A and B are shown apart, each in its own frame.
Chain A
Amino acid sequence: MSFSTFVTDKAGLQKIYEAIVASHETYAPVEKFGKFDFKRVTTLAECDPDSPISKTQSIKPLFFPRSAKVMKYVATSAGTDVSEVDEDPLASKRVILGVKHCDARSLQVLDKVYNWDFIDTDYQKRRTNTLIISTRCDKADTHCFCTSLDYDVEKLDALDILVVNGLDGKIYLKARTAKGEEFLTEPLTRHASPVTEEIANPEMSRQYAAFDGSFRLKMNYAEVNARLSKIFDTPEFENVSGNCISCNTCAFVCPSCHCFKISDEKVRDTGVRYKSYDSCNNGYFTLMAGGHNPRPAKYRRWRQRAMHKFVYYKERFGENLCVGCGKCTIACPVNISIFEVVNQVAANV
């Protein structure tokens, strides 16, 4: 199926966004305490779809909430009654503006995880009901390395509508999925003009080339992946994880981390069960009833993190789990860079 491409300018794009916000439930980056988080907006003025890379949080909480109610229960004399919680507020039809490509790409991997041994119906519902509009970044940030990994940033399918700021000053919009194709219709397209792929594709590729050239960090993914697969026992992991404080932040801000913990809030006979974020960096992540903890030392947890992100998921699902967004490095209190960690470990094999 061929997908439509449109061309517009800055003013036209603003009008398109305004039309979307007016007619659909929209989420976009909203600034609070210096960080941009994806929140529900009712006017375009509340948000900034072009928020700076280093200050924008991921869209993961819209698909895998930080804290989700899973069920309610009441203990009665006849047994325990388990009931569904109220309708998920995130499961209505919605549009997300201002998504970065790395965020969208992480959904591609999460789709595989949540469709694997257990079909997570909540996640599926949220995915089906969401339309993602993603602007390709013009310039890489200090910690970005998405183009070095094993996916084609230029041809992502995880987003529905692609927005590219062409180097010729025009803005190109292209549907990348059937959902996006259906969406790019009146009244949005009155602010843009259709354009053929022969004209649009070279301009978008030019932008991509400039973008690809702006990266400070580049790595040979295939080589790193191959080397890491073989060196589980290297002592180099102790060196790279020395100043980690096991604080959980990296996993919480990562767009593709999906570990969770279950906790109950109960009063006497009734309770609600929550599923919330957890992090494998936490000292108690692997603590079992009975007291055994297979990962008591910091370096073991960092080894698990690095291997998980760069080796295991490639083996199991064919896709790298880390998307190269750099959010973990930015959020880390001591700026540990997973890029540096895997390269340093691989180099010392």
Chain B
Amino acid sequence: MNYTKQIQEIAAKLFAEGKIDVFVGYRMNGFDENQVPVLVNTADDVSKLVFTDKSVFNLVNYLKNEHTRRKRVGIVVKGCDSRSLNLMLTESQVKRENLYVIGIACEGVTDDSGQKMQNCVDCMVPDAVVFDEMLGTPAPPQNVPVSYKMNADIASLAAMPLTGRAAYFEEVFENCIRCNACRHSCPLCYCAKCCIDQETATLYNGANTTSAAFHALMTWSLHLAGRCVDCRNCEKACPSHLPLHLLHKQNESVIYENFQEHLAGVIPGDRGAFYKYSMKDPDDFIM
């Protein structure tokens, strides 16, 4: 999968026609074959842009206010990235007319060791769902709905006894250093002031303790439930290598099994599972 040349050409054209102020793409990191995001401001730097199967980071993160507020942005999105873009558009965080979106029919990306990432192996929406221009050949529309693939890690943890899971997650939360990189790298965490960063002493859990980490990670995953697109930005950003996808995939499986909702962000305008309800929602766990 290599669209380097096409992306350079499109970016150059957009700058030449004065259609964008900044182009968000990928560049080589300068020390090995992996890539990092780059915000290109002029046509001179367009030659830095690349796109291959090492273009991992979800660039929609840079559409948040602090990065590209009020600018016209050209951006490259893969399948999962475009779903988070759809959600940002639906939630009125960015204006569609300010964007030029290059969609990719993604064939999956690899992690630092060269192996295809697990979320790409299980991916159900590889082709960009919102774009002004599509690169690559999208798969033909499926007549039979793609069946949901239960994440293997979730299944194995669910099979463990309660005390085993409690012990496993205690280690996970203990190793969290509360750096908040997961929040900052997630495109859908755009709140100007996160609810758990409020200064009120009774609410504030600022200390970097295990109980604070539990509070932060649980609240974060529940606020993302129904909106997470499994791009793994959070997990790659975490300096302690915590398996954050476990929390999100668990929520996703509950939502899929019980509410039969689409995956987040597939349909434009669709707000996610927690903004809707159905008369058929399960009620038997409520007395």
Contact = CB atoms under 8 A, between A and B. Distances in A.
Interface of A: 32-35, 37, 66-67, 142-143, 216, 239, 242-243, 245-249, 252-253, 261, 263-267, 271, 274, 276-277, 279, 282-284, 298, 331, 333-337, 340
Interface of B: 29-32, 34, 36-39, 41, 57, 61-62, 66-67, 171-172, 175, 177-181, 183-185, 193, 197, 201-202, 204-209, 212, 233, 236-237, 239-243
Given A242-B38, A247-B185, A33 B202 contact: no
Contacts of B233: 333
A16 to B, nearest CB: 30
Nearest to B241: A33
Contacts of A242: 38-39, 41
A143 B34 CA distance: 14
Contact of A266 (B29, B41, B185, B202): B202
A284 B197 contact: yes
- 10 smallest CB-CB distances across A and B, nearest first, come from A263-B206, A274-B207, A333-B237, A247-B184, A247-B181, A67-B208, A242-B39, A33-B241, A331-B239, A276-B208
B174 to A, nearest CB: 9
Contacts of A331: 239
A245 B201 contact: no
Of listed A143, A247, A333, A337, residue having the most chain B CB within 10 A: A333
B37 to A, nearest CB: 5
B209 A249 contact: no
A261 B207 CA distance: 8
Nearest to B31: A142
B241 A34 contact: yes
A247 B233 CA distance: 12
Nearest to B239: A331
Contacts of B241: 33-35
A327 B274 CA distance: 39
Nearest to B194: A284
A266 B201 contact: yes
